[in-house]
Amino acid sequence: MRKVIGRKPVLEALLAGEEIDRILLSFGLKGTVIDSILNEAKKNRIKVSQLPPNKFKEHEDGLNTQGIIAFIRDIKLWNLKELINNAKTSENPLILILDEIQDTHNMGAVFRSAEASGVDGIIITERNTAPLNETVEKTSAGAISHVKISQVSNMFQAMELLKENGFWIYGSSLGNNSKKYTQLNYKGATAIVVGNEEKGIRKSVADNCDDLIYIPMLGKTQSLNVSVATGIILYEIVRQRGNN
């Protein structure tokens, strides 16, 4: 059982049909989103308990919950083959690979960009990866409830399976062999790899990519936050594919 906190994430979890056990609400909360949450909960016969603020705080664990907590069954993780097969039902399949992203806020922000840009699936590593907790859920603004996630122990094998299924894999890297991210053609089955906040993608992962790409840095800063870089790359793909 995991906690989902914040008004928007809880509403998105309800709309996505997540298996919600119960919802706690700090007494006196009002607003359009709260009304929508109460209506969806009633429609789906989900118990909502309104607690006095002092009692509600006992459940917050120091988190900024915006006065609402939903208790939901653990996130469904997809089998990799099922994730790929599902993605291939799209006209132009797009999969995002997160290579050892460790910051929960970055992870949540990446999920939000991925869902907004129409990514068909996300692959994450089992080791050295941020936990899929309430911080990720809240930072994603509920997007985690709408994305398909597969967690793998062997990234090399996962990439090989993608290639066998017709995917071209592009890794985001500042290396000398990288090409400007706008120079490549992303039409067709595509997988994008983004890496760790400090180290980037691992050398073994980079070596297994079909091409490496970079975002030009015009100022003194050497690199962008991984969630920002991911959003830029994904929306270049959206632009090239002519999605509206």
Sheet holding 94-99, edge to edge: 149-152, 121-125, 94-99, 190-195, 168-172, 211-214, 179-180
The whole-number pLDDT of residue 141 equals: 83
Q: 124, 151 in Cβ contact below 8 A?
A: yes
Show the tokens assigned to 88.
């291939």
Residues in the chain: 244
Q: Strand pairing partners for 123?
A: 97, 150
Q: How far apart are CA 150 and CA 122, in angstroms?
A: 6
Q: So where are the chain's domains?
A: 2-72, 80-241
Low-confidence ranges of the chain (pLDDT < 70): 243-244
| Secondary-structure class of domain 80-241 per CATH | alpha beta
The whole-number pLDDT of residue 215 equals: 93
- Look up the CATH architecture of domain 2-72: 2-Layer Sandwich (3.30)
Q: How far apart are CA 178 and CA 123, in angstroms?
A: 22
Name the nearest CA neighbour of 15 among 150, 143, 114, 149: 143
Q: 27, 50 in Cβ contact below 8 A?
A: yes
The whole-number pLDDT of residue 244 equals: 57
The answer to whether the 2-72 and 80-241 domains have the same CATH topology is: no
- Reported pTM: 0.79
Show the tokens assigned to 19.
């298996």
The whole-number pLDDT of residue 52 equals: 93
